[in-house]
Amino acid sequence: MKRRQIRKSTNNGSPKWMVTYSDMITLILVFFILLFSMSQVDQTKLDAVSESFQNRMIFDFLPSIVPSEYPTDQTSVEENGEKLNEHEDPINLDLEQDIEEPEVEEDSLTALVGNVEAYLNQHDLNGLITANRTERGVELVLQDSIFFNPGEANILEEGTPFLQRIGTLLSQIPNKVKVEGHTDSRPMNSFRYPSNWELSGARASSVVRYFIQSYDIEESRFSIAGYGELRPVTANDTPDNMAKNRRVEIIILDEKTE
């Protein structure tokens, strides 16, 4: 008698669509967890991010927007537990220096005017050269009578000692210099100087050329202007007033106005 063979049922597991379904459910779950984590602030993560920013040198001088429970390498702790920022004092010092710098520049130019005036008084030159402190800097006003012949721009020999003193001064300071020429209102009409524009500009150029050739001062420090009779300091109604208007101004420029 033949023995009946019992077939064993094979169980192939869940259907294949269940794998896709489970993956989809997992992705949806992860998506909602991500949304939930984004909607709430994780204090632990926030503290970690804050600490990482505090350890960067570029942010050391700024206070952190999130208080940190741990001092960084740029922070020292006093015995009583108060935290001190090592960069706090240098920042305050820099700000104080920035505020004081204009005062230092102001004092140096004011001292320069004092030295020039003392020199003028000592050598009785107040009638020929005057020094003033203005918004532009230090202005040295040279009357033309000792430096130029009427209607000419060549520097006279008797005027060179005064220019030597000024040239020595300019060679010892770094400031830029502007030289301006001025005339009185009498018309000028010569072959070399057709108008007061050319005469005033030529006189300013002669002064600058003297400084450059005699004291080897960089040309880039100088600028020249000729204003003719258009910028008088007084009315051209008397010979004395006309003499005051015929002048060359040497402006040692304030570094803030250069």
Pairing of strands 137-143, 83-85: unpaired
Q: How far apart are CA 107 and CA 112, in angstroms?
A: 8
pLDDT number for residue 98: 46
Mean of the pLDDT values across residues 209-234?
96
Report whether pLDDT(170) > 50.
yes
> Domain 102-253, CATH 3.30.1330.60 — does that match?
yes
Collapse the DSSP code of 179 into the 3-class scheme (helix H, G, I; strand E, B; otherwise coil) and give the result. strand
pLDDT number for residue 195: 97
pLDDT in tens, 97-155: 443 444 444 567 788 788 878 877 887 777 788 889 999 999 999 999 989 999 999 99
* Pick from 2-6, 131-135, 217-221: least confident: 2-6
pLDDT in tens, 179-201: 999 999 999 999 999 999 999 99
- Say what the pTM is: 0.58
The domain spans of the chain are 17-86, 102-253
Radius of gyration for the alpha carbons in the chain, expressed in angstroms and rounded: 41
Mean of the pLDDT values across residues 209-229?
96
pLDDT in tens, 35-92: 767 665 566 665 665 565 455 443 343 444 445 554 555 444 444 545 445 444 544 4
Q: How far apart are CA 217 and CA 129, in angstroms?
A: 22
